[in-house]
Amino acid sequence: MAAAEKTDIKSMNEQELEAMLSQMGQPRFRSGQIYKWLHQGVKSFDEMTNIPVLLREKLVENCYISHAAIEKKLISAYDGTVKYLFSFADGETVESVLMKYHHGYTSCVSTQAGCKMGCDFCATGKGGFRRNLTASEILSQIQAEQLDNNLRISNIVLMGMGEPLDNYDNVIRFLELVSSEHGLNIGMRHISLSTCGIVPRIYELADKKLQLTLSVSLHAPNDEIRSATMPVNKKYPIDELLKACRYYAEKTGRRISFEYAMIDGVNDSDACARELAHRIRGILSHVNLIPVNSVSGSDYRKSRSDRLKSFIDILASSGITATVRRTLGSDINASCGQLRSSVVKSSRGECK
Ligand code: SAH
Ligand code: SF4
């Protein structure tokens, strides 16, 4: 069978795997054994030592096991944050970051190679869109990091390259796999999904009542500023987005995390803080302020620290909690999109 026609076995859930194996005339317990191997991160069917050779051969013939190969790895000298550039079978590359917090290890994974959304401050957005990742390719990033460092990851943030809600079906499938009892068994409460605001998908996700944390990349208090930096806002303006956020919080009982990249002279005035407070008042939420990372090709600069303080004070006086997000791996450009873009550029000979 041609490679492209083979089944992506690691993207199958337990029931689907069981159905496929039963069609192959296999007893039920085999699917449990194979599911376990896949979720331990094996790269080939040969590693499944308790599976009969004939069945392994049949699986090789019909299926493939996707995996994330380490192309490049940078380790922060400050805090041990590890940034990976992974490649998949077709040569597409994505970034992922492994971070250590007091409560354990967190992996920030990519959901797409590139992104269609074109946010002006984002290195991924500037690089354009390549393709969606499959559920198994999202999962493989976590597995590769666990195996490379011999540790267990306890938290996941879907905040790497790509817009998760623009790859909705694969992301939902990934969530099912990664939280499954016989998989990595990482609970939804330990997973955050970050979106630029694809409104209809937020409603869909809310109706699933998954208990995961929704992070919304707001970055502006009004349509004028938001549309100038985030094209998605022209399709789904702030009022519609916040209505969907309110719905998500009410439906799930989960606090929304609003991400707000502080950009010098663009969105960091006291008036912006007051407008933001007015807009999000009453939504069960928390605001994360992130001093913007400069990326090549845009001249946005980080806000001064007195701006951050003033923003926090103004939000607090309206009863809204805001904190400055701890930046990890600042010496290795840990925010996603930057490593890949430098590698892609250098391979095209555009920069050193
Ligand atoms: N596409 C999703 C998730 C990936 S981006 C989203 O946009 O939410 C992850 C986070 O990094 C988002 O909050 C995004 O707005 C933010 N981000 C992108 N470029 C940044 C930069 N240069 N500085 C600070 N945050 C940035
Ligand atoms: Fe895409 Fe998110 Fe970057 Fe915007 S910030 S371009 S949605 S990855």
Q: In this predicted model, what pLDDT tens digit does every residue of 275-290 receive, in sequence order?
A: 999 999 999 999 999 9
Instruction: Dump pLDDT digits (tens) for 64-107.
Output: 999 999 999 999 888 889 999 999 999 999 999 999 988 899 99
pLDDT for 347 equals: 30
Say whether pLDDT at 305 is over 60. Answer: yes
139 lines ligand 2 (CB under 6 A): no
pLDDT-derived band of residue 267, with 50, 70 and 90 as boundaries?
very high
Which of the residue ranges 154-168, 175-189, 220-234, 327-341 would you say has the lowest mean pLDDT?
Answer: 327-341
pLDDT-derived band of residue 298, with 50, 70 and 90 as boundaries?
confident
pLDDT-derived band of residue 294, with 50, 70 and 90 as boundaries?
confident
pLDDT-derived band of residue 173, with 50, 70 and 90 as boundaries?
very high
CA atoms within 13 A on the CB side of 281: 12
Closest Cα to atom 8 of ligand 2:
162
145 lines ligand 2 (CB under 6 A): no
pLDDT for 299 equals: 86
- CA nearest 113: which of 101, 123, 128? 128
pLDDT-derived band of residue 334, with 50, 70 and 90 as boundaries?
low
Say whether pLDDT at 128 is over 50. Answer: yes
How far is residue 65's CA from residue 249's CA, in Å, rounded to a whole number?
37
Burial class (CB in 10 A: 0-12, 13-18, 19+), 235: exposed
- CB 85 within 8 Å of CB 113: no
Say whether pLDDT at 339 is over 90. Answer: no
> Average per-residue pLDDT in the chain?
92
pLDDT for 222 equals: 98
How far is residue 14's CA from residue 31's CA, in Å, rounded to a whole number?
7
Say whether pLDDT at 349 is over 70. Answer: no
Q: Ligand 1 mean position to 216 CA, how many Å?
A: 10
pLDDT for 338 equals: 53
pLDDT for 8 equals: 98
Average pLDDT over residues 236-255: 98
pLDDT for 211 equals: 94
pLDDT for 147 equals: 97
- CB 216 within 8 Å of CB 163: no
pLDDT for 103 equals: 84
Name every protein residue with a CB atom under 6 angstroms from any ligand 1 atom: 121-122, 159, 163, 194-196, 217, 259, 261, 290, 292-293, 295, 335
CA pseudo-torsion sign 76, 79, 85, 88: positive
Q: What percent of the chain is modeled with pLDDT above 70?
A: 92
- CB 262 within 8 Å of CB 301: no
Q: What is the CA radius of gyration of the chain?
A: 21
Average pLDDT over residues 255-265: 96
Q: Ligand 1 mean position to 42 CA, how many Å?
A: 32
Closest Cα to atom 4 of ligand 2:
119
Average pLDDT over residues 135-140: 98
Question: Alpha helix (H) ranges present in the chain?
Answer: 14-23, 28-40, 53-62, 123-127, 135-149, 168-178, 199-208, 223-229, 232-235, 238-252, 270-280, 305-317, 338-347
Region of 225 please: left (phi>0), alpha (psi -120 to 50) or beta: alpha
Average pLDDT over residues 40-52: 97
* Residue 139 Cα to chain centre, angstroms: 11
pLDDT for 345 equals: 37
Ligand nearest the Cα of residue 129 is 2
Query: Which residues have a catalytic role annotated?
Result: 95, 336
pLDDT for 331 equals: 65
Token pair recorded at residue 177:
């796999």
pLDDT for 297 equals: 77
Strand-strand pairing, 213-217 and 69-75: unpaired
Beta-bridge partners for 195: 216
Average pLDDT over residues 178-195: 97
Token pair recorded at residue 255:
């606090």
Query: What SS3 string covers 28-69?
Result: HHHHHHHHHHHHHCCCCHHHCCCCCHHHHHHHHHHEECCCCE
